Amino acid sequence: MGVCLKRIGTVGTSARPDLPLAVVVGAGGIGRVVARRLGQQYRLLLADRDQAHLDRVAEALRADGYDLTTVRCDVTVPEDTIALADAVARNGPMRALAHVVGLSPSMGSFADIMRVDLVGAALVERALLPLVTEGTAAVFVSSIAAHQRQFAADVVKLIDAPLHPDMIDNAAAALGEPATPVMAYMLSKYGLNRLCRARATEWGLRGARIVSLSPGLIASPMGAMEYQKNPIKWSILKATPLRREGTMHEVASALAFLLSDDASFINGTDILVDGGVTGAFAASEI
């Protein structure tokens, strides 16, 4: 019996052109774990602003058999997000988007954190929206910090327009209290969750979904650093009903579910992956 050579793929590679494309923005601790989880079912396009780091992560993933393309992208630079969209268009269609980029309170100033955690997410969403098709799903990783307080209406109005050129300065002025990195982290994640809710209609009209995912205390390199610089995390850990941190794999599992067809009616909402701590804090206030 003859062999149909047209069906034989390229020997010596892990190329899987038959798989759908998942875009993972952010190659840090959780981003790497998410990429490994999604890479079992998708071709990967991995983006990060640090080219050297991105190259190291990509080399390890390819050595482990993942079909992976990379693109350097600083999410705070509009031109970079346009280049990301171009790369997605070349490798698509895009079935899944996992946005796993963020600065924690000890990693930057008020402006730095607002720019990366909120403006950057909005730039990525804007750039990739034209590539969204029937069945595309997106998860933007947020934080339980988004649930820790409410903000005045005038502040909320400002962050609901994250791409306004003066949003960060105006929001800092409108707070009526010091514009600290901790405040930026809470405000930017609050704004990110609102962004996903606000964009759900536009995505839904395309047959697609967008949600946010708010992890609690997660055993990650960034999380470990925060224990040293933000002691309040110890009290949050003590209040967590499961009495432990979550793992990066647990976040990746929840994210993979939200991107899957099993979550096909979940849109425009936030999913807490926090061991119950947000609910425990809310119950203590009743």
The per-residue pLDDT for 23 is: 98
Q: What three-state secondary structure class fits 211?
A: strand
The predicted model gives 59-82 an average pLDDT of 97
Instruction: Tell me the H-state helices in the chain.
Output: 29-38, 51-63, 78-91, 110-114, 120-128, 153-159, 167-174, 181-205, 221-229, 232-239, 248-259, 277-284
CA angle centred on 187, ends 182 and 190, rounded to 5°: 130
Phi and psi (nearest 5°) for 178?
-55, 135
* Residue 217 φ/ψ region, left for φ over 0, alpha for ψ in the -120 to 50 degree band, beta for the rest: beta
Count Cα neighbours of 166 within 13 Å in the Cβ-side half-sphere. Answer: 3
In tens, the pLDDT along 167-184 reads: 999 999 999 999 999 999
Q: pTM of the prediction?
A: 0.94
Q: Which of 2-16, 20-34, 93-107, 158-172 has the lowest mean pLDDT?
A: 2-16
Question: Average pLDDT, whole number, for the chain?
Answer: 94
Nearby residues of 29 by Cβ (< 8 Å), 6 or more positions away: 220, 221, 222, 248
With b for 16 or more beta-carbon neighbours within 10 A and e for fewer, the 120-148 pattern comes to bbbbbbbbbbebbeebbbbbbbbbbbbbb
User: What pLDDT is stored for residue 19 in this prediction?
Assistant: 97
| pLDDT tens digits for range 210-224 | 999 999 999 987 777
Q: Mean of the pLDDT values across residues 68-94?
A: 98
The pLDDT of residue 1: 44
Residue-wise pLDDT tens digits, 230-270: 777 888 999 999 999 999 999 999 999 999 999 999 999 99
